[in-house]
Amino acid sequence: MKADADIAGAEDQQSAAGRLITPSGIEIPLVATPAMHADHREQPGEYPYTRGIFADGYRGRLWTMRQYSGFGTAEESNRRYRFLLEQGQTGLSVAFDLPTQCGYDPVDPMAAQEVGKVGVSVSSLRDMEILFEGIDLSRISVSFTINGTAAIIYAMYLAAADKAGVPRRKLTGTIQNDILKEYVARGTWIFPVRPSMRLVADSILFANEQTPRFNPISIAGAHMRDAGCTAVEEAAYTLSNALAYVDELRARGAELDSFAPRLSFFFYVHTDFFEEVCKFRAARRIWARLMKERYGAKDAKSWMFRFGVVCGGASLTAAQPYNNVVRVAIEAMAAVMGGAQSIFTAALDEAYQIPTEQTAEIALRTQQVIAYESGIAHSVDPLGGSHYVEYLTDRMEEEITRVMADIERSGGMINAIERGIIQRRIAQRARERKIQTDNGARIVVGVNRFRREHEEEWTGEVFRPNPDAARSVVERYRALRAQRDNRAVERCLSELGAAAANERHNLMPLLIKCCHSYATVGEMVAALKRLWGEFEEPTGL
């Protein structure tokens, strides 16, 4: 990769010749001129959508303000959701604890120390019902950050809606359901790649028929980015993963235009403002061209690259945490200038704890100030036409396309993931980034520059998880297993196991049936593991 050479150069961003490059290694001109970019005449809402997928930008519809949240028991998370909705948040985003994400019930020895810690524990339909008590699922869109057990949690959400009397077609929201990037960066994989791809396809095909307003996948670059790759690589890996899903669905016989309009994306925004804005402009253009010209999609909706973002993550620091409010504000502005459909702004204490109610509120207010005071959402693609922005968009498009072509030449994304190639490349990037931070080539305010002599780490409120959460989760779990019709559960689980053996069988209806019987996440995962086994992680560095 050319970027490899560039990154070596990035260690000294300000070389003697005064040459500057972006974090992805693209040269930054002192002054950009019209000669440095193609002559772009397109308007917002026009193919290939560089300037945005909607002609009326945010005037038609503001982005969704969606704060990621969840912890402890379903009751506690339900209280936080109601608080956030009362504060003007317009969608929910559910954070699950690791046992739920990795498919272990709360009593599993692997789960013992992590129940309710980084998110809410949901092991059965009972928890899902409590999680959304008093929240009208036909009106509030809900996003689920869940991957390894995505099909199961999606089934459980549908079962909860069924029980609440909400028609499935009215449900809105998104389930992340992007297993490929879990193998690369986020780590909540369970099954080997091939059966996991089947589950993803099953849920997307099912969603096409049953929940037409609910996005069955959000193809995410965010976690690969936060693990260390550059903005160019983030976009390239994500779009390559997206093509792997498209190929899988087409191999299952699905018509491209029946599912492509439902694919959505999810990215990180870090602090390099222009690179982030241009990443989104470039990604929209690349996706539109791929779908229309290479894959032959006919429906304009299939060409439209829709995405949500998260601002914060690895760009935030534990040192001088109040600086993070400023970082997140810059990042959220980049997301708006880039045309995001939904934004999550991380709280200032994200680098070391679950946000308190106060820091979560500041994070949401940051978006509200941008939306309602700054005026930047009023005109569509307000940076379009800037010579620098058009130049950087063109250059990022070239670089992203080149990284994608490299992956394709070396056998495609699934192959690269199974062999651990992308994983190694990201680890290498993380190492380079660390070296640059340690030696000061990459400036981080409050960390390697402008530090105070005796830094007090945090003077605000400390989030204290409820120490009884795990115990009450386990109590409810045991009570459920004692009360439910265990024979019905067994029947559902064995039907599931039998259907899993037949590749042509869509597992979603059976998963929903299992959920209605109050089978647990761990039981459903175990039934499938017996047949499919587990992913073997390539750990070579």
Residue 227 is a binding residue for another protein (CB under 8 A): yes
Q: Is 317 in the site for another protein (CB under 8 A)?
A: yes
Provide, rounded to whole angstroms, the least separation between the CB of residue 104 and another protein: 7
Instruction: Establish if 39 lies at the interface with another protein (CB under 8 A).
Output: no
Burial letters for 257-283: b for 16+ Cβ neighbours within 10 Å, e otherwise?
bebbbbbbbbbbbbbbbbbbbbbbbbb
In the complex with another protein, the residue whose CB is nearer, 113 or 374, is: 113
Question: In angstroms, what is the minimal distance from the CB of 444 to another protein?
Answer: 8
Cα separation, 494 vs 498, in Å, equals: 6
Asked if 212 is part of the footprint of another protein (rule: CB under 8 A), the reply reads no
Distances (CA, A) of 514 to 140, 159, 253, 283, 335: 25, 9, 27, 39, 40
Alpha helices by DSSP H, 290-382? 300-303, 323-337, 357-372
**In angstroms, rounded to a whole number, what is the distance separating the alpha carbons of residues 423 and 167?**
41
36 or 118: whose CB is closer to another protein?
Answer: 118
CA 405 remoteness from chain centre: 23
For another protein, give the closer residue by CB, 90 or 448.
448
Rounded to a whole number of angstroms, the distance between the first and last alpha carbons of the chain is 18
Helix (H, G, I), strand (E, B) or coil at 451: coil
Residue 157 touches another protein, criterion: CB under 8 A: no
CA distance 456 to 461: 14
Please identify which residue in 256, 318, 421, 441 interacts with another protein, judged by CB under 8 A: 318
Half-sphere exposure of 279 (CA within 13 A, CB side): 36
Q: Considering only 30-38, 79-87, 112-120, 487-495, which stretch makes contact with another protein by CB under 8 A?
A: 112-120
Query: Could you tell me which stretch among 171-179, 312-320, 388-396, 519-527 binds another protein (CB under 8 A)?
Result: 312-320
Q: How many CA atoms lie within 13 A of 182 on its CB side?
A: 25
Cβ proximity to another protein, 188 vs 520, nearer residue? 188
Binding residue for another protein, selected from 6, 114, 178, 248, defined by CB under 8 A: 114
Q: Does 319 bind another protein (CB under 8 A)?
A: yes
Contact 337, 383 (CB under 8 A): yes
Does 270 participate in binding another protein (rule CB under 8 A)? no
Determine the Cα–Cα distance for residues 519 and 64; give it in Å rounded to an integer. 33
Alpha-carbon distance of 475 to 481, in angstroms, equals 10
453 is a site residue for another protein (CB under 8 A) = no
Q: Is 61 in the site for another protein (CB under 8 A)?
A: no
- Pick between residue 281 and residue 327 the one whose CB is nearest to another protein: 327
Among 111-119, 236-244, 261-269, 501-509, the segment contacting another protein (CB under 8 A): 111-119
Residue of the chain from 64, 101, 174, 324 that contacts another protein (CB under 8 A)? 101
Binding site for another protein (CB under 8 A): 98-99, 101-102, 104, 109-114, 117-118, 182, 185-188, 226-228, 317-319, 351-353, 426-428, 430-431, 434-435, 438, 447, 457-458, 462, 465, 537, 539, 541
